[in-house]
Every structure is written in structure tokens, then in C-alpha cells.
Chains A and B, each alone.
Chain A
Amino acid sequence: MAGWGYSLNKDRQIDFDANDRSVYFRVIGLEPSLGKCISCGSCSATCSSAVFTDLDIRKIFVLLSRGELRDLKKHLDDCMLCGKCILVCPRGVNTRNVILTIRKELEY
């Protein structure tokens, strides 16, 4: 059946009851500007690391806010902290510090 062209999609339901949003709330407490994010993706578009890796800052923020923490840490490590994303953010989110804060929070 494998080469037949059909497969089962993975379930994309977001289960807020099962997900852990506490990290998101802790991060937003430490870096309130994250609350202003509109997921426009400017940060991802300008990202220097994204050329080399799967790092997608917008996705990270969205996953974090949904409490889907599984792949977060792996991607966060690809960030070079160059700070370009702060400059392009139309909402003034301190993206670099959000990433540092998430790293710290996930560590504990």
C-alpha cells in the first residue's frame, strides 16, 4: 500500500486540555511583549538561521502558545541570537529575549 499515493494524515487537533500552556504563561510574564505577537511571520522571513535549518520563529511562538512543546527545544537551539527579528517585528516584540526566556524556562 505504501507506494499507492494515499496515506493517513496525522491528527491535527489541538487538545488544550492535554497541552501544557504553563510555559507560555511564564514566558509572557517574563517578557510581556510576546503578547503583542500577531504571527505575521516577519521574524521567520528575515531569520539568518532559517537558511540553514528548520528554525521558524513564528512557528515556535505559535506552538508555545498552544502548549505543544515537543519539538520546541530542538529548533530553539538553532537560533544564533543575531537579533534581526527584533528589528523587523512590526509589533515591537522583543523576540530575542522571548527565545532566551523559552530556553531558560524549558531547561527547568
Chain B
Amino acid sequence: MEFDLFVLPFSLCLLYLTVYLGITYYRWFKALPENERSKARQYALTSRSLSAIREVFMESLLHRKMFRKNPLLGYMHMSLAFGWFMLIVVGNIESRIASGTHINLPYYPIFFKFFHHQKDSFPLQAGFNFIMDLFLLMVLSGVVLAFIKRSRSRLFSLTRTTNHTMVDRAALFSLWAIFPLRFLAESLTSAQFENGHFFTHNAGLVFSHFLPVSDLMYPAWWAYSTALGVFFLALPYSRYMHIPTEVFLIFLRHYGIKTTRSDNAFSKFEIYSCSSCGVCIDTCQLNAVFEKNPVPPSYFFKKERHNMPDEIALTSCLVCGRCQEACPVGINVNGIRLNARNREEIPGKGGFADFQYRFPKKSKALYFAGCMTQLTPKIKRSMRKIFEMAEVQVYFMDEHETICCGRPMMLSGQYGQAEELIRKNKMIIEESGADLLIVSCPICYKVFVDDYNLNLRILHHTEWINELIMEKKIILNQNDLKTVYHDPCDLARGEDIYKAPRQVLKSFTHLAHNEYDGRQSLCCGGSLGGLKVSFEERKKISEDALDRMKVASSDVLVTSCPLCKKTFDTVSAVPVMDIAELVAQSMKTKKANNKPVKETRLENQLKIY
């Protein structure tokens, strides 16, 4: 095997990197709880691994999700990742054929052109040369785009790009240097030995006109090897740690391992898989409030990696989930952030279990309005009207006394007390023997669905109203209102419910579309997730959201969350209504039983007929 001193920076740093990564991943994997690890062992030799490999190829190499975000951004990531990968793979095949052995030292394919000058010495040499030149050109085009992106990020649909730490910058510059140096070294070599193809060969010819080729060739290989070495050294401490980590993440995720509330070990893999690509930065609505916004996961994770949690990133986040929705790596940002809040949990004495709640009588269906709905009595009234019209017997669970659903506790990281609230409410619900629970507040709805493990049907009132309309249990008068529907975070992104409310609204009003429909919805600014967001800041966020949704051009802003309604109400020029209010207003009285729709107000056991 040929050898030259200049391969040492590359080889030694690669050795260091391999050992470092091996130890790190082993430690992280060991930290996972036993049952999670057994999942990995159980599924390793199943088709799950195949689908993981497929995802690694599609996302880590081809960057499919990045292409969806912006083709130029996608191409930039793809050319660097896929181009480099192919250079390594094809280079390995080429060098093995050339040397006729199965085992090569890692440096040999990388510096192949330096060691191997002979022409037509192995089959398909010209073809290999062509492919290698092609991929080198591809990678270089990516480097050029990356360079342009730093100053003209708008071309890539990013209004802001990430700010870097010192190590990040060292890694970035060495990464940028690697491929131009490889190009230079190969071109100069080709100028001397004519072992290049269309790209390096012609570039070599050009260089030979004005450069002392034979003097520069050897230093260029040294520089190339050194750039690689510096990159490998900086990689574990920079954002480029995402390159190896994301592959592990995808595999573990396919084996069903997740970040949960009780276990935070897996989040190490997630935090380090963040490439700080910056896609999340534009999605964060706190940009409207902060000059330098530390909240987006790109920055939040960076601080977490160094165990220096940023106070604002931790407490001001609205937990709306827009960044999580946009994340091309699919990191569970909200889960990790809440777990980080939980680190400071102050164990309260609790005692919620002792709350003297008046238990419901047996009932087929329950209605849980939620704390926030208590502050928007119109929603409650409208729901009652709808219950009456649809002739459904519903027990109004929290008419007089509300026990919080527990989600606000969770959002502030107080998992222990949240558990206690959940247990209490669960007991009440199970006691009633109901098989349907209708919820008016998306915040409560989310926690009922995700954490209560209830053995009954849980519907948000939008879904339920939609069902009533489908079954013709209520009939709505058409009107000419131009409506805009605002998706509450916890309903649309949290639980994927955005079709039902639109169906309802389309059936009797003119519903306008906007780019923030469905899972792309904006936070109203009132979110209980933002612990430290002040009243003035919330107002700014709400105004910003209304502006972006172009609400001013419509007659009424419809939402389905009492908190969103209340928050928007304070700043909106257009009236804000809950979907239940609008429906209740537009209901036709049935001819068959001409009962007048009237509000009933009964004590204790509420009978609604």
C-alpha cells in the first residue's frame, strides 16, 4: 500500500473521530432504559431496519423534506450530502478495483488520484474518472450555494440564517475548504499526469497556464488532508455532529424509541441530530417580539448541548409547535422543551385528589367546557343550545366547579402535579359511565386524548358539530358571512383536527383560505406554554398573527378555542367567534317538534333535552 506523510492529518483525525463517536453513542445508548434498548435488539433484524435505511437515504442524503421547503435549499443540502457520499462510495470501489485488494486503508480512496497515475490500468477507469468528476462538481456547486446562502438567505426562503459559535465556524470553514482544495489538488495532479476527466482535466489545463503546477501539487494535497482533519476534529463539538447522529436517530425511531416524559435519554440523540439548518427560525412567532430571538430549536438545542440552558428559550416559548412541524429532521421539540422545564419542577404538596367534587350522576355523554370556556360564557351557552336542538342528553361536567385538565401544569413542567389532576379527572369521568366526552377547549382535548387513556369516545366540539350536521340532527341557515378560520395549535397541529371545522364552516358560510390553514396555523399569542411572555408581548404576537392571516378582509374570525378567542378579541377589529357560537346562531328550529330554543339553568344535575 502506498503511503505519504500528508495522509496523516486525515487519518489520525478520522481515527479520533471514530473512537469519539463510538464511545459517545455507546454511552447514550446505554443510558436508555432497558425496555427501550430491548426494542432496538428486537427489531434490528426486521423490515424496520430496511425502512430506516430507506429513510436515511431519502432524508439524510437526498434531503427530500428540504426540497419541499425550497428546491434551492434542498439542492444545496443534497449536493453536499449525496455528492460527498457518492465520492466516498465510488472512490472506494474504484480504489479497490485498481489495487485488486478487498481491504484498503481509509485514506487510499480519498487520495486515490495522488497515488494512482497510470492510465488504463484497470477496467472502466475512464468511467470512474468521469463519475468522480461529476460528483465533485456537484459538491462544489453545493459549496457555492452554501456560500451564497450566508448573505442572500432569502433566495432559499429563509429570512434569517443561524448564528454560529466559534467551533461551528471552524467546522464550517474547513468544510467549505475541503472540496475546493480537493478540486485544486486533483486538477494540479491531472495537469501533471493527465489522470482527470472533463472537470479536473480541463481545470488542470487552465491552471498549468499560470501556476507552477509541479510545485503546488504536493502542498495542495497537504492542504486537502489538513482541511479534512480540522473538520473531523471540530465535528463532535459543532453542529455537524448531526451528520452521524441523524442516522442513529432514524434507526432508533424506526424501532419505536421516543422521548417520553419519564425518559429523557433518547433526547440526546434528537438534540444532536439538529443540524441548525435554520428552517425553524422563520417559523417562530416570537420573532415579532425579540430582536435576537433565542427561542427557535436551532438555538435552544445548541444551549442544551452545552448544558447551558437559555432562560428565555426555556420559559418564553409558546409551545405552539410550529418549529416542530417545519423541522426536516422531525425532532420532538416540544417534548424536549417541556422535559427541560421539568428539570426545575418544584414538588408541590398537591392535594388535588382531596378536592370535594360533586360527582356526576350516571350519564351517557359528558360535556367538559374547561377552565378557559368558563371565561367565554357565549361558547357554553351556544353548546347548550346545540345540545338542546340535537336532543342529546349531556351532563355538564364542570358547570360549577372545574378541575383543571392538567395540561397547563404539564406546559410549565410540573409533571407530578399534572399527574395528580389527571388521576382526579379520570376518576370523575370513569365514575359517570359515559361513552362520549365532548370537550370545548383544545388544550384540554389534547391532554384527554394523549394522556388520560380513557376508554370512551372523546370529541372536540367541532368534530361533534360536524357529525350532527352530517346526520342532519341540526340544520343550518345559509348566510353570506365571509369567514376566516383560525386553527388552534393544540387542535390542528396537536391532534390533526382541521378538516371537521372547515367542513362545518363551508356548509353555511363563505370560508376564505389562507396560507396558515391547518397544521401551518399561527399561535394566537395567548398560549399557556409561554410562561414569561408579558401582556404587551402577547398583544404584539396576536396583532402579527391577525395581520398575517389577513383577517381584516373578512366579516368574522372563527376559531374553536376559548383561549384563542379571548386573546384575539382584545386586538381584533373584526369580531371573533367560536365555531359553536356561529352554529348556534344559524340553527334552524325544527318543524317537527316546535320546542322553542331556550336556555335552561338548572342546579347540580343539568338536564338538557
Contacts and interface: CB of A to CB of B under 8 A. Distances in A.
A103 B416 CA distance: 15
Contact of B409 (A51, A80, A84): A80
B524 to A, nearest CB: 12
A83 interface: yes
B581 to A, nearest CB: 18
A104 B532 contact: no
A100 B404 CA distance: 16
Given A46-B375, A88-B375, A97-B531, A81 B409 contact: yes
B510 interface: no
Interface string A30-74: 010100000000000010100111000000000000000000001
Given A33-B534, A77-B351, A84 B371 contact: yes
A97 B412 CA distance: 9
Given A88-B375, A92-B534, A94-B534, A103 B348 contact: yes
Identify the interface centre among B346, B526, B566: most chain A CB within 10 Å of its CB: B346
Contacts of A48: 371, 374, 401-404
Interface of A: 31, 33, 46, 48, 51-53, 74, 76-78, 80-84, 87-89, 92-94, 96-97, 100, 103-104, 107
A52 B355 contact: yes
A9 B79 CA distance: 82
Contacts of B414: 81
B421 A84 contact: no
B4 interface: no
B403 A87 contact: no
Give the 5 A-B CB pairs with smallest separation, nearest first. A92-B535, A80-B404, A52-B355, A82-B371, A82-B404
B534 A103 contact: no
Contacts of B412: 81, 96, 100
Contacts of A52: 355-357, 401, 403
The main secondary structure of chain B at its interface with chain A is: loop
Interface of B: 315, 344, 346, 348-352, 355-357, 371-372, 374-375, 400-404, 408-409, 412, 414, 417, 421, 526, 528, 531-536, 563, 566
A92 to B, nearest CB: 3
Contacts of B352: 80
B346 A87 contact: no
B346 A97 contact: no
A51 B139 CA distance: 66
B566 A80 contact: no
Contacts of A83: 371-372, 408, 528
Contact of A94 (B357, B374, B532): B532
Contacts of B402: 48, 51, 82
A85 to B, nearest CB: 10
Contacts of A107: 346
B372 A96 contact: no
B566 A81 contact: no
Most buried by B among A89, A93, A100: A100
A23 B262 CA distance: 32
Given A52-B401, A81-B414, A97 B532 contact: yes
Contacts of B372: 82-84, 87
A84 B535 contact: no
A83 B371 CA distance: 8
Nearest to B311: A30
Contact of B421 (A76, A80, A103): A80
A47 to B, nearest CB: 10
A32 to B, nearest CB: 8
Contacts of A51: 400-402
Contacts of A31: 532
A73 to B, nearest CB: 8
A94 B355 CA distance: 26
A25 to B, nearest CB: 18
19 contacts: A31-B532, A48-B402, A52-B403, A53-B355, A77-B349, A80-B404, A80-B409, A82-B408, A83-B372, A84-B372, A84-B375, A87-B526, A87-B563, A87-B566, A92-B535, A94-B533, A96-B408, A103-B346, A103-B348
B532 to A, nearest CB: 6
Contacts of A53: 351, 355
A48 B532 CA distance: 21
A31 B352 CA distance: 27
Nearest to B370: A82
Contacts of B536: 92
Contacts of B374: 46, 48, 84
| Chain B CB within 10 Å, residue with most, of A46, A80, A107 | A80
A87 B563 CA distance: 9
B415 to A, nearest CB: 12
A87 B375 contact: yes
A100 B371 CA distance: 19
A81 B403 contact: no
A21 B272 CA distance: 44
A2 B356 CA distance: 32
